[in-house]
Chains A and B, each alone.
Chain A
Amino acid sequence: MEFAELIKTPRVDGVVLHRPFMPTVEGTLCLTGHHLILSSRQDNTEELWLLHSNIDSIEKRFVGSLGSIIVKCKDLRVIQLDIPGMEECLNIASSIEALSTLDLVSLMYPFFYRPMFEVIEDGWNLFLPEDVFKDLESMTDEWRLSDVNKDFSVCPSYPPLVAVPKDVDDETLKKVATFRHSGRFPVLSYYHKKNGMVMMRAGQPLTGTNGRRCKEDEKLINATLRPGKRGYIIDTRTINVAQQAKARGGGFETEANYPQWRRIHKAIERSNILQESLIKLVEACNDQSHSMDRWLSKLEASNWQTHVKEILTTACLAAQCIDREGASVLVHGTEGTDSTLQVTSLAQIILDPACRTIRGFQGLVEREWLQAGHPFQQRCAQSAYSNSKPRQEAPSFLLFLDCVWQILRQFPCSFEFSESFLVLLFEHAYASQFGTFLGNSTAERTKLSLPEKTVSLWSWVNRPQELERLTNPLFEANSLVIWPSVAPQSLLLWEGVFLRWNRSSRCFDEAYDEMVHIIEYNKELQNKVNSLRRQLAELETEDPLLQTP
């Protein structure tokens, strides 16, 4: 298919662009296969380059022969293009609509994008399971790397290599896979170096209504317990939801069959409810009404903050079981691809200082989201402005980022990255020139040959100039476990995402610059003091007479 077929009018002059808190720009609008470009052709005004895949929905309005297209983006920005000429406007609108809803992955921009920068480190090879496992091997010999899934036949959403207890062979794993949702048998998610406790994740057990059991499953998860120790199973669903799952062949681990495990149910909502919540929240944030009651009741009705609180609380609980209680943990929900990953990844942020560095956080996203089979393609197909009925869209990853931001707010000095890194990940998960978030699983990514045909987001991020932009100037390595407060009074609305386009950020940016300045000035001073001290010390050792009395 040629993009040209979809582009009826490639170019319109005299288009006026309106963006919130920015001066309007008049210029020429161009449509390419992947971008909407507006250029004023003047030297100092910036151009607008908008990826079609970033467009969530559009609206058309006409006043006489002047048409306006309101473009609502997945990053929650809303812009308006005034286009002279009704026909041009209609053509542009229908082209945008067609181009922004292309279903075929191989037509996506990442396959056409050629980097304008030199790739220093190829992001596709940075976080391979075999390399990650080497670190684990240096700490414990209780785990092995199994290639039972090498052709993705045992579990289509798992990577080819997964860490499992050493004493469990591949045949057992295959049997366990038949007992777990989507073949997602329990695998290692995190090893807590301090006390050797582990966190595993899986899909729900397929006990069904007649209480099916699987000896191999019991054996597998018991193999992770030290003698005489017990563990926790954290089911991210409420007991009612878990009960209902039985009717559809799912279920949960019963005490009788798993006597060494204690099951805790939490209440993280399913994806369709989360998507609805996002839509409501964004609607509330864009409401220009001056009524305080209306805002607060809409914020409440969106339930977004409730989800944030619930997810954080569950993650704290998992971390608490591991660190405080010295127990191993198995986390699952239904499929084990959404709420499960939110919990396991956030627990690692709390427990493991390494995950709070830029590189470590990339590794965490890679391990616990991409390789763990979070279906990014499905979940991020549409964002909050979509008019089409949500299919499998859900802001699971955005909620995770929101929770990380909450912890970052409470421990502003303990993260190597700043808020902008989280915002960047949000943007790229929904629309990107990089291939990282394409596909739904490692299997799909392999099939699409993403590592060969596209550039990794990490290749771009891990360059000095980008890193500098994403670094938190306040960072000071903190090797401790960080326990956030989850009281509602301590959790805030993530303004950097949800109110980002509704206010001018100028004075906040200036204050931030001031902060960076204070920090740098202090560093510079300390360095000077230190070097003068050395100089003086050297003089004094050379000539003992100089020594101060």
Chain B
Amino acid sequence: MEHIRTPKVEQVRLLDRFSNKSTNGTLYLTATHLIFVESNSNNSTSAGQEVWILHHHIASVEKLSLTTTGCPLVIQCRNFRLVHFVVQRERDCHDIYSSLLRLLRPVSYEELYAFSYNPKQNDQQREEGWQLIDLGAEFERMGVPCDQWQLTDVNRDFKVCETYPRDLYVPITASKPIIVGSSKFRSKGRFPVLTYFYQEKKAAVCRCSQPLSGFSARCLEDESLLQAISKANHNSRFVYVMDTRPKLNALANRAAGKGYENEDNYSNIRFQFVGIENIHVMRTSLQKLLEVIGTRSLSMSDYLVGLESSGWLRHIKAVVDAAIFLTKAVTVEGVSVLVHCSDGWDRTAQVCSLGSLLMDPYYRTIKGFMVLIEKDWISFGHKFADRCDQLDGDPKEVSPIFTQFLECVWQLTEQFPQAFEFSEWFLLQIHEHVHSCQYGNFLGNNQRQREELQLRERTHSLWAFLMSEKQNYLNPFYSPAYADSHPVLAPSTLPYNFKFWRNMYHQFDRSMHPRQSILKTILTLRENSCKAESALQSLESRLQQLGVTPIVTSDPPAPPPTRDQRSSALPPRPDSLILGAPINHKEEHQRQDDDEQEEVGEEATESFDTERTVEGSSGTESRKQSYGELDGTYSSELAKEEPAVVSLEFGVARMTC
């Protein structure tokens, strides 16, 4: 709190990013959030809009030079929200600015929100939350340990590799000396270990970091470990070694004593580069993309040219292509694959996890997806703290690697609408919390660090929270039967299959979104059906009590083909974005907390049909407002107004945060 000089500033204007609209309100600065509350303006009947911004979400704060209307403060967030305030007094602006600068760059983990966040749970609930995902059980599900793969305790104390988890799975034939030897020959000690086992063909997906081969060095233990991986799969006489880097990068690494496997030294490997760019290229690419799409009155041509020159979708496609290569090798050829990049925690994590998702329908369920992230990202040491800039660190370490992974998954959900149990909202929510530092899961860079921080004892688990609102994240089109007919997904990666993910990068720019959402409508209908089912039951039993047979056939209607637990009512949708669900959930939801029992016999038929409001259609209210706005411009240069601005203005009936 000592950093907060001015907790409250009045008369602040919030400018809309893409139109000339603005709202007046008050800015509050708390220990965890920056909050903007719209003042109840003259003619708006609705409650003022509120914008809550968690300090950890702020990527940058910029104070622009003073204008006649005040001092502009531009805040860019990691969840792609961009807010532009104008503070009347320069001094207030400066106070907020300097407080934020301090607040958004915590220097120690203890300052992170997760350590103070308290969702009113007792210790037991917290403990249960952390036990939700069990990686040991996950490897068992895959069929490991088995006659070829075993759990090794070599890293029990993080001695061999401090960025790996304690429990690791290796071929039965790989002895401890081999492992230790190999680890010394691999960057950061990240020796080859199992991450996914494809039971059907007994083929393994293994991961590691680059070998310290330089121009000629070799390591017999490393060679035997690869040999052991190969031998563990009787279906194939060789293993693929996938270096996910562009060849040029790998070559350059040789000069630094690193590099890639020499096929001559390793018996039975087939070496392959796949050409995913490094974290720096990805960071710059996203920056370019955001710059382009943040332009006001963007023309179609500039948009498409910008999309191309940012390279973002090219990178996304490269990751998916690599995952497909991996999947084909394992599921079609039945060959084990060893995946690495430089350190084996960025591109390797992307490719291994995406590949597993394509191979195994389990990872396309809500629980399975959590397990997948826990396994390939959290436990194998993707450096969340560095990549997501949790503490004031090296800006060159920051990179949207995990965001890319989520986007790849989204692109797949677009191609396979029935294959995933979760909807886009789930991905958005995970992204939100990877950066929020509200839950302990993603804090730190590796398991060892997390243990030191005692996260399990001191923070809460995101997975438990997400699981508790699972209903919100369901994909209504999900068909578990699809997994039986399509256990392995074979997406097309022709370029036109990759689309710009508007709901991620323009999550908070409501004017860009469809005004009515099919997903939301269908979820609401499902919710209604749910209520109707229980109403039907109670009506029937009431009629039976009265000794009457209901006129309609008492058989319930043919159950819908969806197989979710529809018996339990949906938990209320969270109403704060930061504390709750992504933006789509936030929209006010007409719900009747009606007790069906009491309504029986009353004229409740009407109220039962949930009202549907049409968002974005102009109500009388907003129409009147813009009348006034436009009268003034009648004689001015309406013709000059840029197209996007013209109708964007009119696209938004009422802006909520």
Contacts and interface: CB of A to CB of B under 8 A. Distances in A.
Interface in B509-544: 511-518, 521-522, 525-526, 528-529, 532-533, 535-536, 539-540, 542-543
A531 B298 CA distance: 54
B492 interface: yes
A241 to B, nearest CB: 15
Contacts of A317: 643, 646-647
Contacts of B643: 309-310, 313, 316-317, 486
A518 B560 contact: yes
Given A320-B646, A482-B616, A529-B535, 14 more contacts: A264-B638, A296-B304, A410-B616, A478-B617, A483-B647, A487-B648, A514-B418, A514-B477, A518-B560, A525-B536, A526-B532, A526-B608, A532-B536, A548-B598
Interface in B430-487: 476-477, 479, 482
Contact of A518 (B313, B525, B635, B651): B525
Interface stretch (B53-61, B156-164, B618-626): B618-626
B601 A537 contact: yes
Interface stretch (B226-234, B244-252, B381-389, B545-553): B545-553
Interface string A290-312: 11111111011001011011101
Interface stretch (A56-64, A126-134, A215-223, A505-513): A505-513
Nearest to B527: A522
B39 to A, nearest CB: 25
A98 interface: no
Interface string B587-630: 00000000000101101110011001010111100010011001
Contacts of B627: 324-326
Contact of A539 (B321, B495, B548): B548
B317 A292 contact: yes
Closest 10 CB pairs between A and B?
Answer: A295-B495, A480-B617, A313-B643, A488-B303, A300-B304, A296-B308, A316-B647, A525-B532, A511-B417, A292-B314
Contacts of B646: 313, 316-317, 320, 486
A526 B610 CA distance: 11
A547 interface: yes
A484 interface: yes
A460 B488 CA distance: 43
Interface in A471-529: 474, 476, 478, 480-493, 499, 502-503, 507-508, 510-511, 514-515, 517-519, 521-522, 524-526, 528-529
B617 A514 contact: no
B307 interface: yes
Contacts of B623: 323-324, 481
B571 interface: no
B270 interface: no
Given A525-B529, A525-B533, A478 B618 contact: no
B601 A533 contact: yes
B522 A476 contact: no
B515 A482 contact: yes
A240 to B, nearest CB: 14
B65 interface: no
Contact of B550 (A263, A305, A480, A535): A535
A329 to B, nearest CB: 12
B115 interface: no
Contact of B502 (A306, A411, A482, A489): A489
B301 A306 contact: yes
Interface residues of A, number: 88
Could you say which of B494, B631, B648 has the most chain A C-beta atoms within 10 Å of its C-beta? B494
Nearest to A300: B304
B304 A299 contact: yes
Contacts of A324: 623, 626-627, 630, 650
A410 B552 contact: no
Contacts of B630: 320, 324-325
B539 A532 contact: yes
A309 B317 CA distance: 27
Contacts of B562: 514, 518
Given A324-B626, A486-B647, A525-B529, A414 B614 contact: yes
Interface in B246-303: 293, 298-303
7 contacts: A293-B314, A303-B301, A320-B650, A325-B627, A490-B513, A502-B494, A514-B562
A460 B619 CA distance: 37
A262 interface: yes
Interface in B41-64: none
Interface in A345-376: none
B639 interface: yes
Given A482-B515, A525-B532, A529-B539, A511 B605 contact: no
A525 B561 contact: no
A327 B303 CA distance: 33
A474 B626 CA distance: 30
A534 B602 CA distance: 9
A412 interface: yes
Contacts of A517: 560-561
Interface in B1-55: 18
Nearest to A309: B300
Contact of B647 (A289, A296, A484): A484
Contact of B614 (A285, A320, A413, A525): A413
B318 to A, nearest CB: 9
Could you say which of B317, B495, B542 has the most chain A C-beta atoms within 10 Å of its C-beta? B495
A514 B478 CA distance: 9
Contact of A515 (B506, B522, B540, B601): B522
Contact of B529 (A295, A481, A521): A521
Contacts of B298: 487-489
A105 interface: no
B552 A484 contact: no
A490 B512 contact: yes
A510 B616 CA distance: 29
A409 interface: yes
B305 interface: yes
A290 B639 contact: no
Contacts of A490: 502, 512-514
A384 B307 CA distance: 26
Contact of A292 (B299, B498, B648): B498
Nearest to B620: A480
A411 B496 contact: no
Contacts of A387: none
A481 B626 CA distance: 14
Contact of B546 (A288, A294, A491, A546): A546
